[in-house]
Amino acid sequence: MTEKIKQWQMTELKADFKLAVSDMPQVKEDEALVKVAGCGVCHTDLSFWHDGVRTKKELPLTLGHEISGTVIEGPSHLKGKNVIIPAVLPCGDCELCNKGRSNMCQNQLMPGNDFHGGFASHVVVPYKYLCPVPDAVLQKYQLEELAVIADAISTPYQVLKKSELEKGDLAICIGVGGVGVYGALIAKIMGAKVLAIDINDEKLEQAKKNGVHATLNSKGLDSKEIKAKVKEIAKELGAPKYGWKIFEFSGTTAGQDLAFNLLTFTSNLSIVGFTMNKLEVRLSNLMAFDAKLIGTWGCKPELYSEVVDLIASGKLDIKDFVQTFPMSRINEVFQNTLAHKYTKRSVLVPDFN
């Protein structure tokens, strides 16, 4: 076992990440030491680094909560196992955990927020909810590619399960970069007629190539024009006029405004993307349409094995949506992600000497 841990740390807002080398931390009885295979770059990381969203742990802090790796120290049943580290690590014993809402555990710990995360050679985490990766999955994917399960795939999986989506429903996915495209693909697997809406033709083409039923570029269109086009598309797909399941993945004011304006009778709107900006809406529309508005936070660890099974079965193919970079390029990758230069989820792979 290496004697040092190497980490790319955030030291101040909007500044370059700096390489830090320190002694390997002590591993407690309820923890595991994981050698990082890959760590995805998430919109939440950008919010911490660029937008001023406060982290629980003070700076300097190693960001990164979308982690895959290999357990090298910890309980015997996990030692040597390849694992996914859930982005939200609950306590498992509180009122919310006992009610099946462990993703909202108020004692939860989040890598790259409550403690040093995955843009590092190693990370120490509570081992209770680590999700083993079957060898069969690794015959098709590299372990670092599977880091996206920790958030980009598990988060939309949870919200789709919460959304009351039924076979044949129209699922409208707004924003199909990163988390959104996985949401669209999972909705299709669940039997929905899926419409992807974005302002980027390349992302829409990628979604269509992977089986999404219909796409719509909303750039330059107002909400009334978009709603009219959605009604046309629903008719073409043989989807219902009502009860649309709307998923806002973009985390933008424009996306959230559009999502609310697409509400129709008995719709269900799920908010997945995050923005600090406020939105002015008429909440009475929920009453008038007998509609539902729900939020979602991460994914409870109990669902991770179901996500892994989707990939293992071949129903969900993630190859087209992941790109890897050496972790030493972290500053370049963050700047490019901020500038929306990537159409795939970026995963940083440790390349420490």
pLDDT in tens, 224-280: 999 999 999 999 999 999 999 999 999 999 999 999 999 999 999 999 998 889 999
Same domain, 318 and 278: no
Q: How many whole angstroms separate alpha carbon 186 and alpha carbon 190? A: 6
Same domain, 127 and 180: no
Same domain, 41 and 110: yes
Q: How many whole angstroms separate alpha carbon 351 and alpha carbon 353? A: 6
Closest CA to 31 of 114, 124, 137, 155: 124
Give the number of other Cβ atoms within 10 Å of residue 350's Cβ. 22
SS3 247: strand
The strand pairing partners of 174, in sequence order, are: 197, 248
CB-based contact 40:152 (threshold 8 Å): yes
Q: Judging by beta carbons within 10 Å of its beta carbon (0-12, 13-18, 19+), is residue 114 exposed, middle or buried?
A: middle
Number of H helices, E strands in the chain: 10, 15
Q: Which CATH number goes with the domain that contains 276?
A: 3.40.50.720
| DSSP one-letter string for 98-165 | HTT-GGG-TT-B-BTTTB--SSBSEEEEE-TT-EE--TTGGGTS-GGGGGGGGTTTHHHHHHHHHTT-
Same domain, 10 and 94: yes
Q: Name the token pair of 171.
A: 């699922």
Which residues in the chain land under pLDDT 50?
1
Which pLDDT belongs to residue 1?
47
Q: What residue has token string 């030491």?
A: 33
Same domain, 271 and 240: yes
| Close Cβ partners of 168 (under 8 Å, ≥ 6 residues apart) | 191, 192, 193, 239, 240
Same domain, 184 and 235: yes
**Residue span of the structural domain in which 247 resides:** 154-295
Same domain, 325 and 236: no
Q: How many whole angstroms separate alpha carbon 116 and alpha carbon 338? A: 22
Same domain, 134 and 180: no
Same domain, 250 and 315: no
Same domain, 259 and 245: yes
Same domain, 280 and 340: no
Q: Which CATH number goes with the domain that contains 89?
A: 3.90.180.10
State which of 262, 278, 295 marks the end of a domain: 295
- Give the number of domains in the chain: 2
pTM assigned to the model: 0.91
Closest CA to 132 of 145, 118, 146: 146
Same domain, 170 and 287: yes
β pairing state of 122-126 and 131-132: unpaired
| Secondary element (H or E) of residue 261 | helix 253-261
